[in-house]
Structure 1
Amino acid sequence: MLTRRSERLSSKATSAPAFTSNEVEDRGHEESDYQESDGEGGYDEPEYAPSSQGRPKVSYSARRQVRYEIDWAFSSPRPAPKHHDRSYRCTLGDMPSGEPIELVSLSQTSRFLQNLLLDSRHLFIYKTVRENASGLPPPQPPIGMSEMSWARLLYGGNGCNTCNRHVPHIDFGLRRRVCVGCRRSYQFWESRFKSSCPGMDAYMMNLVGFSRIGVSSRGHASENQRFYWKPDLDDMDARIARLERREGTRAADEFYERRVALVEAAMQEIPALSAWEKKWIERKSEDQGVAEMRRYEEIVSRAVAAGYDRRDIPSRWGIDWAVSGKPELTDTAWKRLLPRLQKAIAETRESRLKEERKACILKRCSTATELYRKFLHTLTPIQWRYLPTPNHILYTSCSGLACFRDLLAMQDEPSEQQWAAAAEQLPKEMSTHLSSYISAMDGGDSPQHCSSTTSELLLMSAGSDAATLDQLCERFSSLDYARTVLVRPGQLRSGCDVWHAWYRWGDDFQTFKRGFSSQGSDALSAIAALLRKDVNTVTATELDVSSGDVSFRCAHCPGTHVGWRSWVDHCIRSPNSEHNPILVALDPDQAVHDSAKDAGHEQWACAHCDHYCVRLDGYDYENRPIYRADFGSYPELEEHKATHGIPCPSEFYDISYYIGFHGKARPATTVSTGAA
């Protein structure tokens, strides 16, 4: 008795798994049929319906008896109830009708919804959603493509249809998204049809769509080339063979004629579809930007409400990780991103405070530089050449001026009285400053011509007394001896330019190897002898005036005619050769033309007004205001003489010439070295 019952239970217990396997197999066939029928967007795709092949019917009493006997025999737990998914209770009224991407995403959640939406009676849902889509409406499905396949192609994601790699664009000729790797594997050129599809007739290429984009075309279409998808040709070849085998050759010929006309009509739609895709991608990018900006504004409003300063909140691009989510910022999302946002706000606050402090110091440096510029206007042009330029004062943040240093470090904003008191200390400060620089320069191996008496410079105010100006000129002439040649790699200075170069070179002057050149002094001795000047007393300014309309050429070295500074530089750069200068007079008619080509012709300054004097001309460079010493050019200065009634300007009293580059000859002029 027990043996017969065990056999009966065993037979009935094995019947349930057999049913389950049949059901899975049937559903597997349905899924494979769905994927095969839906394909990759064929040109004559039918409207597919769920399979009519039902499951094997088993009575309710038999299922109940089997379950009861299994529980009684083996005490196994009851199986979970089937078909309790919410999607099975979904109705057509619950389908989204606003966005196609929502409908496509919903159809991929369960097999039931896929079968429901594949039914030919329900395909109107895709059409309704497509017609009611917001934004740029999608066009009608191409010829031979169903509404569902068209929606899946547009809104089914940006993955390649073969390997799911990201592909932003759709190949409407192949009706799929294809990455470069899959093109290299499955796509071939029209001229390589025989080698790619051996044994296949060439007329098959007329029955499938083609692409204008090759593997190496970088996404750009070519009008003269065709690229075919090999799996499409294989499927079409098998389809033609099956049609000939079932219905005969005549049916295959009729299918060929219809298919060729369909493919030609479909290929004509590609330009319009490509133009729509371009606009669609642009619209998506704009909508995404608007959504990110809306989310960023929500983040800012929540952060300000939490007590943070609006200036400390990073920009939209600084927290792109926070604005790239959904447009709606929920409380849960806000709690999740708040810790990371607090860290970004702290970094932004620290950076802002540093920039504000830097801007405050720069503003105060500009004020101090303006006061220093006004102080320069109280001096004579001869004194400018021994003092730092306003640009140097600003660049070094007034580090060399102790009278302004305390004002820059103040927490509160300095008052006008404090600035005026600091400006009154400038004459004494600059006298000490200039003496310290000269003492440091004199401590090297320079020619001993700067005694302690001549180093005590008096910064006198500018005046019209010729005797006072002559006294200043004589006092400063000891610092302008031409035989003092300071050399730095690539540059040399002579005379009073030696002292001014100290400021222009700045801190780099301490790091570069420099020194006073003996070869330069010997070369200047030859120049002075050629011009009949005493090398021990001649100044660089006198050489500029004496050689304004002449040039020099080396007797032993080939080269062009150069000024006396360039000839000295030539002797320093070639110390092992013998050099003898030859004086070459310039043609008076060509003197003006040659001087116009010289870079130094833009470095004349007028001593009577601010327009042609050392002034600050500000401009921005990397968010930092830069001030440079701007000088009037020599032609402008000639026109400017009538303004002050000076027919013949005198150097140091009326005009001053600044040497900007070594080797540049002074333009030919008629200035004198004394008062007019």
Structure 2
Amino acid sequence: MCHGCCDDGYEFNSESDDSDLTDLDTDSLEESSSQCSEYSRLNEAFGEDSAGEYDEETREGQPAKKRARADQGTGTASTAKGPGRRKKTLSDIVTMPIDILLEIFGLLEPVDLLSLSLTNTAFREILLSNNAVWKTARVNHGVPDCMPGMSEVKWANLLFGGYQCHECGAKGFHRMYLGIKRRLCHSCVNDNLVASYSEYIQDVEDDDPDIVDLVPFTYFGGRAFSNADVRLFWSDDVRKMVEQLEVYHKDADMFKPGAKQALEDFKQSRKKYVDSVVNHAAICDDWADKDREGQRSRVHKFRDYIKKLVEDRLVVLGHSVEDVERMFVRHHYGVLDKELTDTRWKLLLPKIERKLSELKEGWRLEEQRERKVLLLNMYERYVRPLPRAIIPPQEDFLKLCDVAEFINSPPTGNWRSDVQPLADRIPGLCAEYLHSRKLALTQLLALSTDVLQDAATLQSQGVDAPDDVLVQLATSVFQCTHSLPFPLITWDKVQYHRCPRSQGYATPACTFSISQPGVAAVRSLLGLVGLDAQTTTATTMDHLHCRFFCSNCPPKSQGGGSYRMVMNWRQSVFHYVEQQGPAHAEPRWEFLSAAQLQVLRSLPTPPYPEPSVRAWRCNKCELHHGSPDNKAAVITFLCHLGYTDIPSVHGITAPTEGVDFSYEQGICEKPPPTTKFFVIPQPKQPTYHCQHCKNSKRKFTLDGVKSHMKAKHTIGSPVERTDFCNA
């Protein structure tokens, strides 16, 4: 029985609520559409406001005319086809005796009788004029008795004609409200139901307090009425009851004989009627719940049966059992709701195979995403405490041969068990990644004649392994091809490089080339200090502690003196690369004199990187890895300064830079700023104190103290020794 009563989802189609997946069986869609139109006409025929079940005027003469058409149509069809196999037809069934038809109709279910009454006028006339056949069908199939005051036809229409709202005619499956004998859409429920606590009911109770006991009601009213214990009345039923009571009260007020007794008898009969409706509605609700569960069970059993047939046929055609079973886990696509005939199978097979192919591709991509996410989670847990220099970025890690092969491998049922062995290889994969990057730089250096004089020998021999010494030479200067061309001196800086175009370290788009200006600058510095370009490493140059002036940059004047910028060898390389132009056509340098070096050592050295830069991290734990902080915050974390009530995490009262904490070299790729050195010292200028600022030790130049006196003390012409004095 597909009657769709009592619940919005009673048609059991919730599993296939996907518009782009229901086109596999177009016949089922056409049938569903035709069902809605049929039941729309059915509600018009059997609605509460219809002309009636026994309208004799609509029956006169029509059955004979219908039979004449059927006879004529049958004869014409057989004549046109000629000899041969005759097509089976039920067109002559309307000519059978009525008593035989009624016996046949009595074996049907009520919902079938409703559908049958819409097939032609003859059946409709027979069914509407025989109330007994409806009762027989109802009793034979365990349907409860009619609600008080309802005929068999209207009762069947209320239970099984669920494709149209009884109030506004809106099409679709609608909830059945047995207490008020209606099937209604949500809009009509919210607009027409009134609660017992509403102002309208309270107003009519003022006229007659018994009115709430005289009108049928329901307890369920959708979202507008959330309290399940409140009586809900149909507003039109209340209005009609008010009108009826007004007539009785009017007669009683006019002291008509027997009027008060008539009013009391009416109320008693209505109370009995309402009680019978409420009690019977409860019985019918229980039956509807059981029938709904029974129908759901039958639908699922039928779908399981059809699904097994479809799966068996697809497996015979070569599809895997796992794919076929997975196809129908979440949706049935309208395929499982009808008998699987050979004709229907021929129509469905191309669509099913096309859909299965789309699903398999979707499953493959979904499994790839799951593999990637799971593997990256394991990867992040492994690399979180490690320096960024020795781990590949996520993008590069996913492109490693073994990792990419695992992610892109065909879907399997137990792929999760294969993740752990690959995760155990992460340290080795990271080492292979560094090996490949270092090998690429070695090969790049072997091709550059500016770096090695014997590059031709290396090229002839071939390079198939990284050369750790070669990539650490002072002349091994690289640059990123996707960022500003500042030099990356040796492998140590390349491995920490973070391309400005991306948020990650050494992204896949980051490739390297030889920095020709950088190599030229290093070779000129090595020639100046007298070291061999083919053997001197960057560490050797760092230990020399040499300082240089750029001979291409003239001194600059400031405050009566002149200065030049002092640079170590790394700063010199950066300076030459950044100052490329006619004034720096070739690198030229000069040493600082011994006296100048002595003065330089006495100058304060600014910290690098600055403590306020968020580049510092704790070396004792992984807290700041990936999220560096300023220097003070890291030191505070190490020793908990200012948090005396909290015990120290690492027990370090005096953390040492480079041991207990350090800075991320990937964030600070450039060397510290160069130092300003006055080759001609600035003459000392006298300084002054303001006499009006008591207890102030602030010092001013002459112009400064005059500006101060004017701005703060409104003295336009200050006098020395009176307003200010020598510091």
| Alignment TM-score, normalising by the size of structure 1 | 0.45
